[in-house]
Amino acid sequence: MKLFNTGAMHRVNNDARLTAANDLVQRTLAQHGLATPTELGEASERPAMQSISDLLSKLGATTSQPASSAPDIPVGASFRSDTFSCPAGSRSFRTYIPSSATESARGVVVMLHGCTQTPEDFAAGTGMNRLAEEHRFIVVYPAQSRRNNTQSCWNWFSRGDQRRGAGEPAILAGMVQQVCATHGIAKDRTFVAGLSAGAAMAVILGETYPDVFAAVGVHSGLAYGSAKDVASAFAAMAGPTGAPLPKKSQIPTIVFHGTSDATVHPSNGEAVVRQVQDIGPGQTLETVEQGSHGGRSYSVLRAATAGGEPTLEHWTVSGLGHAWSGGQAEGSYTDPKGPDASAEMVRFFFQRKEA
């Protein structure tokens, strides 16, 4: 996950934040034994952006490039481009309407890409459009602007983008409400998922707009309020060091995280799970399942209310790095091995009882 901000910060603060981020990178490299004192001295002369790239490379971030080719669209389907604007700002987005849902859709799934990715890349890598055809739902792919984050990361680490009624949460929630109104989709059929920075923002949306989203999918993400700026974001990615912001919204959540994720430490997935458990119903029934798929073993913690309504799933995939489990090679940050995260998220979302 690259996360260097940003158009959201005032230019006057950029130099100080660049320096702080650079210093943090050097300390993190040293803590992981990935840089010698000589290298650290040389690195201090380099721009922070260079050092951050070094850190991500050495910690195992995927270096594959976003898909650039246009996706194949089945006859009768459409992959529309649009822009949403509101007082909090504007973002472009793609909307996939499957041929199976041209008259009526079963729901909406919002997919938030990770850093350096695009909606087209994320669609190709997750295979979500194929599942949309199969299950008759619409997919919305918001696009982060490089004007607002130089690495196309959602600004999950900015306090101004962690609350209702402002920043990126307001933009994304408004965008989704507009799509749902156009297609007649109810709140209990509207879901959000993401990868890495997109997953962290999905958690924020579930917390700040529980009246818009019915469930959240978190792949290689972080708990709500894990960071307040760039420096604390890198610290959190290495493993939670302090208590995140308190969570108030009870929203069903499915979490995927790989045990070999060297970019966002697996303990962050556990922190997401703890937040859900802490705010969830007082009495839940929990089960643990072990399995294997595509050469990777996994464990799944499932929790449900006494009435059988699912509240949480936590998929821990052995050997998976910072990549979408069961993803397609056409996209970046994907691993074809392991359980299909897209299919499991869709199942988790749509198994919920319709109002």
Residues carrying an active site annotation: 196
Contact by Cβ (8 Å): 51, 42: no
Q: Cα(113)–Cα(117) distance, rounded to whole angstroms? A: 6
Phi, psi of 53 (to 5 degrees): -60, -40
Find, among 179, 221, 175, the residue nearest to 201 by Cα.
221
Residue in the block written with tokens 């869709």? 346
CA distance to 18, 27, 34, 231, per residue, from 45 (Å) = 12, 15, 17, 19
Q: 109: which strand partners?
A: 139, 191
Sole residue written with tokens 């913690």: 301
Instruction: Name the nearest CA neighbour of 61 among 297, 265, 295, 253.
Output: 265
CA–CA–CA angle 337, 343, 347 (5° rounding): 145
Give the integer Cα–Cα distance in Å for 317 and 264: 14
